[in-house]
């Protein structure tokens, strides 16, 4: 028996975004499913996007056909299938007209441990909707434009409400990453922050610890999306208020005051996720700890280390006609290709919006001597009096310079 009262709302969607999905590949695919008498619909996030007037990035398909049935019919029709590692969970990927189609058999999650699910296949669309996280993500769309909406997802989308399907607690305990997905979709669809279902907040606070068992990579993907969305200040405060922070690699004793200042500074300037996060960190070690937990990229880590180190020390020249000069000198001394990008983020962090434009106009002057020439000078200089350029590199760049020998720096300055 279905766990929740059946409430099916249908309507017909006809929009340019929807029409644009009908490629040759999709037309052949839908024809095949009709011919074989299996139902096929668009599912989840793609339906949400289409109803919001957005062309979805990736489209997931759901079907009543089992993986075995799909494999049989694709083989018979001479359709290639690729990397079938999703098969255990019911996903088969078919390739038609140079396009991949990920098709998942309707399923019920029988056993869940908060990360993985053991599944049972079904032909009941509502049962599949029931195992999904949020009402806005629980809808299906037929190829004739019929919307199948069992949990008021369309109303919630229109009213900009992020709600779990059924009980928040149960949904979260099935997959703790859903805590972060809740925040992400809140940032994505809500107009004005502040309104939450109390049951949802309680469930998040009571289950935050479950995130400790979720892989760093998955968390980092979600966290970055939160940081790139709207209402970041509100959501990061929630992450701290509900005690989610320690389970996702964020420092317990974060400086939320600095974060408030920086989240205002960067507003409207498309900061990198790390630019915002850096404001939570008091010391460089906080970046290292985040990296250990989330396995961030080297570039992200270096940006974090750089911002924490220079946010106070590398600032605009006081009452100077050349306010950008300290930053320019830094970039020149640094001689690293991404130094400009890091300084760019630093200016956002500091709220130096005027200087952002100035930096954009400027480009690193080319050196009259090459690195090779300088190395020769340094090595042949028996006095090792310290080449000024070499010395400044050791002082300024990169932030982790203490552990890295700069090959062309004078020997006594190297660690
Ligand atoms: N922890 C999760 C992840 C996914 N889903 C379901 O699987 C669908 C597809 O998941 P995914 O592609 O990861 O997310 P989307 O909602 O599609 O978001 P995006 O636009 O970022 O792809 C979701 O819509 C939702 O129905 C879920 O219930 N619980
Ligand atoms: Mg998706």
Q: In the prediction, which pLDDT does 407 show?
A: 39
Q: Which residue lies with its CA nearest to atom 10 of ligand 1?
A: 45
Q: How confident is the model at residue 364 (pLDDT cuts 50, 70, 90)?
A: confident
Mean pLDDT of 35-55: 96
Which ipTM value was assigned to this complex?
Answer: 0.99
Q: What is the radius of gyration, based on Cα positions, of the chain? A: 27
Q: In the prediction, which pLDDT does 389 show?
A: 43
DSSP state of 382: T
Phi, psi of 414 (to 5 degrees): -75, 150
Q: Which residue lies with its CA nearest to atom 15 of ligand 1?
A: 45
Structure tokens at 273: 């996720």
Lowest-confidence pick of 25-29, 49-53, 222-226, 357-361? 357-361
Whether the per-residue pLDDT at 363 is higher than 90: the answer is: no
Q: Which residue lies with its CA nearest to atom 19 of ligand 1?
A: 45
Whether the per-residue pLDDT at 148 is higher than 50: the answer is: yes
Q: Could you tell me which residue, 320 or 402, shows the higher pLDDT? A: 320
Whether the per-residue pLDDT at 64 is higher than 90: the answer is: yes
pLDDT 10s digits, 72-97? 999 999 999 997 777 778 899 999 99
Contact partners, residue 31, CB within 8 Å, separation at least 6:
none
Query: Mutation test of ligand 1: which of 62, 126, 132 has the most ligand atoms closer than 8 Å to its C-beta?
Result: 132
pLDDT 10s digits, 194-247? 899 999 999 999 999 999 999 999 999 999 999 999 999 999 999 999 999 999
Q: In the prediction, which pLDDT does 384 show?
A: 41
Whether the per-residue pLDDT at 391 is higher than 90: the answer is: no
Structure tokens at 271: 């900061």
Q: In the prediction, which pLDDT does 387 show?
A: 40
Give the rounded percent of residues in the chain with a pLDDT score beyond 90. Answer: 72
Instruction: Tell me, in angstroms, the distance from the centre of ligand 2 to residue 93's CA.
Output: 15
For the chain, domains (ranges, CATH) are: 1-159 (3.30.460.10), 371-413 (no CATH)
Structure tokens at 134: 């949020």
Instruction: Tell me, in angstroms, the distance from the centre of ligand 1 to residue 138's CA.
Output: 9
Q: In the prediction, which pLDDT does 398 show?
A: 54
Ligand 1, CB within 6 Å, residue ranges = 44-45, 58, 60, 132-133, 137-138, 175, 177-178, 181
pTM of the model: 0.86
Distance of CA 85 to the CA centre of its chain: 24
Mean pLDDT of 362-389: 58
Q: Could you tell me which residue, 6 or 117, shows the higher pLDDT? A: 117
Whether the per-residue pLDDT at 396 is higher than 70: the answer is: no
In DSSP terms, 303 is beta-bridged to: none
- Per-chain mean pLDDT for the chain: 87
Structure tokens at 192: 């004005």
Q: Which residue lies with its CA nearest to atom 12 of ligand 1?
A: 45
Mean pLDDT of 116-126: 89
Q: Give the span between the Cα atoms of 132 and 120, in whole angstroms.
A: 14
Cβ–Cβ under 8 Å, residues 127 and 154: no
Q: Give the span between the Cα atoms of 411 and 415, in whole angstroms.
A: 8
Q: In the prediction, which pLDDT does 300 show?
A: 97
Q: How confident is the model at residue 414 (pLDDT cuts 50, 70, 90)?
A: very low
Q: How confident is the model at residue 376 (pLDDT cuts 50, 70, 90)?
A: low
């Amino acid at each position: 028996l279905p766990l929740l009262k059946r409430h099916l709302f249908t309507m017909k969607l006809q929009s340019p975004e929807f029409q644009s999905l009908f490629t040759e590949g999709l037309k052949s695919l839908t024809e095949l499913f009709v011919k074989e008498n299996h139902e096929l619909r668009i599912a989840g996030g793609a339906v949400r996007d289409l109803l919001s007037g957005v062309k979805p990035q990736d489209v997931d398909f759901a079907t009543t056909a089992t993986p075995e049935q799909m494999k049989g019919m694709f083989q018979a029709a001479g359709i290639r299938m690729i990397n079938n590692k999703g098969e255990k969970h019911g996903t088969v990927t078919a390739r038609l007209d140079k396009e991949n189609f990920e098709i998942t058999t309707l399923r019920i999650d029988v056993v869940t441990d908060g990360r993985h699910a053991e599944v049972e296949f079904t032909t009941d669309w509502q049962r599949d909707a029931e195992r999904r996280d949020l009402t806005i993500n629980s809808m299906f769309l037929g190829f004739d434009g019929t919307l199948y909406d069992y949990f008021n997802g369309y109303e919630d989308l229109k009213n900009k409400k992020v709600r779990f399907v059924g009980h928040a607690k149960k949904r979260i305990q099935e997959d703790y990453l859903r805590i972060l997905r809740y925040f992400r979709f809140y940032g994505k669809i809500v107009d004005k922050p502040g309104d939450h279902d109390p049951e949802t907040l309680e469930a998040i606070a009571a289950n935050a610890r479950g995130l400790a068992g979720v892989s760093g990579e998955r968390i980092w993907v979600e966290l970055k999306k939160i940081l790139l969305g709207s209402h970041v200040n509100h959501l990061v405060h929630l992450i701290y208020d509900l005690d989610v922070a320690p389970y996702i690699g964020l420092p317990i004793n974060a400086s939320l005051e600095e974060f408030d200042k920086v989240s205002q500074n960067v507003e409207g300037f498309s900061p990198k996720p790390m630019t915002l996060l850096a404001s939570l960190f008091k010391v460089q070690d906080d970046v290292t700890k985040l990296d250990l937990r989330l396995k961030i990229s080297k570039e992200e880590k270096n940006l974090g280390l750089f911002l924490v180190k220079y946010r106070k020390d590398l600032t605009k020249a006081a009452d100077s006609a050349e306010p950008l000069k300290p930053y320019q000198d830094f970039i020149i001394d640094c001689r690293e290709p991404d130094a400009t990008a890091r300084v760019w983020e630093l200016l956002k962090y500091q709220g130096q919006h005027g200087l952002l434009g100035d930096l954009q106009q400027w480009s690193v002057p080319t050196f009259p001597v090459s690195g090779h020439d300088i190395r020769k000078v340094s090595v042949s200089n028996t006095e090792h009096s310290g080449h000024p350029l070499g010395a400044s590199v050791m002082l300024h760049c990169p932030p982790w310079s203490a552990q890295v020998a700069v090959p062309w720096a004078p020997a006594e300055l190297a660690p």
